[in-house]
Amino acid sequence: MIYSLDKLNEMAEGDTEFINSVVSVFLEEVPEDLDLLEKAIESKDYEPTYQLAHKIKPNVDLLGMEQTRAAAFEIETLGKEKGDFVKIEETFKLLKIDVQQVVSELKNDFNL
């Protein structure tokens, strides 16, 4: 398991409806944002690359996905600074694997 509900549980203070809502939003938005990010990277378009990585970052952070948050931060920074797209592409591969794994785990763990 590469995610943790510790931060979310702390915020929710026992409110399971809130936790389920956050997980549902994650499952709805993050895969969509990931697809858009992949297209922006394929197009070598810095602005949406930066914006989408920036949008994904807090979502993975909320689920305690530190490695994934670091990858999103790196993509965000490189996109903002118009950095090396080869490095962006390499980092995105790791981000995508992590997100896909967590989506699968969350669907299984929350019976969605």
CATH architecture of 6-109: Up-down Bundle (1.20)
Whether residue 59 contacts residue 32, with contact meaning beta carbons closer than 8 Å, is answered with: no
Q: Around Cβ 70, how many Cβ atoms within 10 Å?
A: 16
Q: Which amino acid is at 26?
A: F
Tell me the whole-structure pTM to 2 decimals.
0.94
Distance of CA 111 to the CA centre of its chain: 20
pLDDT above 90 for 1: no
Whether residue 41 contacts residue 89, with contact meaning beta carbons closer than 8 Å, is answered with: yes
Q: What is the pLDDT of residues 88-110, one digit of tens each?
A: 999 999 999 999 999 999 999 99
d(CA 53, CA 72): 5
Q: What is the pLDDT of residues 36-59, one digit of tens each?
A: 999 999 999 999 999 999 999 999
d(CA 103, CA 107): 6
Q: What is the pLDDT of residue 112?
A: 86
